[in-house]
Amino acid sequence: MDRAEAPAGRLPVVVVGAGAMGGEWLRMLARSAFAEPVGVVDLDVDLATRTVASIGLTDAAVGSSLADVVERSGARAVINVTVPQAHRVVNEEAMRAGLPVLCEKPLAPTVAEALRQVALADLTGGLLMASQSRRYFRHLAAFRDATASLGALGAVHAQFFHEDHEPGFREQMAHPLLVDMSVHHFDMLRYLTADEPVSVRCASWNPPWSWFAGDAAATATFDLASGARFVYSGSRCTPGLQTSWNADWHIYAERGAAHWDGDHLVEADAVGVAVGDGVEVGDTSEGIEGALEEFVGAVATGRTPQNEVRTNVMTLAMVEGAIRSSERGDDQVVLAELLEESLAQAIVDEKSDDVVELLRSWPSAAEAIATPPWGTAPQPVLHASGGAR
Ligand SMILES: NC(=O)c1ccc[n+]([C@@H]2O[C@H](COP(=O)([O-])OP(=O)(O)OC[C@H]3O[C@@H](n4cnc5c(N)ncnc54)[C@H](O)[C@@H]3O)[C@@H](O)[C@H]2O)c1
C-alpha cells in the first residue's frame, strides 16, 4: 500500500503530555502534512514551555488545562501522551468536549477502565483510537502477507529481549514488561494473524539484577480461537543478544514457516512465498506517523481505524489476562470471563450516572465491544480542512 494522501489542510491538534514521548510526537507533528500541533498541555507547564521552545513551535498555546488550551488554540483533536494512569481521565475530558482522541498505548491500565471509555464513546458518538504504533511497520505488513500464504496456523513465537533504561513511571510500575511493552507485541499478534486470543497462562518475575521495581520478565502462552498457540517470552533487562523493539517472530503453519527479525529481515521456508530481496514492503508511513495518518483519515472520513477503542479492548485483555495468570501462579485465565468481570468492576468504579446507566444496559462486555464503532453510525464528521458537519 502506498503512503496515505495528505488532506488539503492540517488537522489542528493539542498534545497532552510533554514528556519524552510527547516530545517525539511534537517533533513528528511539526513536519507532518496531516496535523499541526497548535497546543501543548502538561501538569508541568515549565516542561511544556521548554519542549515547545526546543522544537520551535513559537505559536503553540501552552498550559495545564486542556479546556483552556483547546479554546486558545482552536484545536479540533487531542493526542494523549500522558502516563498510562492519566489516559482515561484525559480521554474522557476530550470526548466530553466533542473532540476526537488518539491515545498512546496502553489506552488504560485495566480492561475495566477501557470499558468505561467504550461507554463514553458510545454516549458521545466520538472517536477514540489507541496509538498501537508498532502495527505500522512495512516489514511487519510483508511478514503478515507471508503468513497469510502459509495456510492454517500451528504456532506463533515472539521473543523480546532488551536492555531498557528509561527512568520514570516504567521503573516503578508492577508490570513494566507486560503493561508498557508487551501490549505492543500482543497487539501485533492480533494484526498478524487476525486470530483472537481465548485464554492465557503466564509467569512473570523480576531478575535479581533488574533495575525495575516490578516484573521485568515474563513468559506467556495464549490459546487462539483457531486452535493455534501464541508463545511469548520477554525481558526488559537483558544486557546481551538483544532483539528488535518489535521482537523476533517465527510462524509455523500448514504449508511452511516464516521468520521476521523485527527489523528488515523477512524470510520464509515455504514453496512460492517471496523472501529476502523479493519481499515487497510498500511505502506506508511507519510508527507513530502511521498511527497519526490513520487517525486523521478516520476523523476526515468517519472510517473506523484499527484500534478504535472497542477493538483495542482485546489487546488490553491479553495484557490483563497475562497479569492475572501470573498473579495466580500460572493458572489459565479465560479472556471471555475476564471481560465480563471487568464490566462488573467498571460499573462499581464509574462515577458518571450516564456512563453507569449505559454500562448496566449492556447485555455483556463481549457484545458491547462488537457494537458498530466509529463511522458506522450517523455522527458528525470533522474535516481536516473545515469545521464539523
Ligand atoms: N509508542 C511507543 O513506542 C511509545 C514509546 C514511549 C512511550 N510511549 C507511551 O507514551 C506515554 C508517555 O510516555 P513518556 O515516556 O513520555 O512518559 P513521561 O513520564 O516522560 O511523560 C509523561 C508526561 O505526562 C504528564 N502528565 C501526567 N499526567 C498528566 C495529566 N493528567 N495531564 C497533563 N499532563 C500529564 C507528565 O507531567 C509528564 O510530563 C505512555 O503511555 C507510554 O507508554 C509509547
**279 has a pLDDT exceeding 80:** no
Number of separate domains in the chain: 2
Crossing angle between the packed helical segments 309-327 and 183-193, to the nearest 10 degrees = 120
| Pair (69, 18) in one structural domain | yes
| Predicted local confidence at residue 380, as pLDDT | 38
**388 occurs within a structural domain:** no
| Predicted local confidence at residue 271, as pLDDT | 78
Cα 130 to middle of ligand 1, angstroms? 14
**323 has a pLDDT exceeding 60:** yes
**386 has a pLDDT exceeding 70:** no
| Predicted local confidence at residue 8, as pLDDT | 74
| Pair (85, 217) in one structural domain | no
Higher pLDDT, 18 or 280: 18
Q: Which of 172-186, 288-302, 360-374 has the lowest mean pLDDT?
A: 360-374
**245 occurs within a structural domain:** yes
| Predicted local confidence at residue 277, as pLDDT | 54
Model confidence at 389, in pLDDT bands (50, 70, 90)? very low
- Where does ligand 1 bind, in terms of residues with CB under 6 Å? 16-22, 41-44, 47, 81-84, 86, 89-90, 104-105, 133, 168-169, 180
Average pLDDT, the chain: 92
Of all residues in the chain, the percent with pLDDT exceeding 90 is 88
| Predicted local confidence at residue 6, as pLDDT | 73
DSSP string, 348-370: HH---HHHHHHHHH-S-HHHHTT
Residue of the CA atom closest to atom 39 of ligand 1 = 19
Cis previous bond, 106, omega within 30: yes
Of all residues in the chain, the percent with pLDDT exceeding 70 is 93
| Pair (130, 21) in one structural domain | yes
Model confidence at 180, in pLDDT bands (50, 70, 90)? very high
**32 occurs within a structural domain:** yes
Domain that holds residue 52: 11-134+287-311+343-368
**333 occurs within a structural domain:** no
The owner of cell 503553540 is 60
| Predicted local confidence at residue 376, as pLDDT | 62
| Predicted local confidence at residue 388, as pLDDT | 29
**Helix boundaries (H) for 213-302:** 287-301
**1 occurs within a structural domain:** no
| Pair (265, 148) in one structural domain | yes
| Pair (250, 294) in one structural domain | no
**Helix boundaries (H) for the chain:** 20-30, 45-55, 66-73, 87-96, 111-124, 138-148, 169-172, 176-177, 183-193, 287-301, 309-327, 335-349, 353-361, 365-368
| Pair (234, 145) in one structural domain | yes
| Pair (192, 89) in one structural domain | no
Residue 301, φ and ψ in degrees, nearest 5: -115, -15
| CATH number of the structural domain spanning residue 27 | 3.40.50.720
Residue of the CA atom closest to atom 18 of ligand 1 = 19
**325 occurs within a structural domain:** no
**49 occurs within a structural domain:** yes
| Pair (70, 130) in one structural domain | yes
| Predicted local confidence at residue 377, as pLDDT | 44
| Pair (193, 97) in one structural domain | no
| Pair (19, 92) in one structural domain | yes
| Pair (98, 115) in one structural domain | yes
| Pair (157, 224) in one structural domain | yes
| CATH number of the structural domain spanning residue 219 | 3.30.360.10
Cα 34 to middle of ligand 1, angstroms? 22
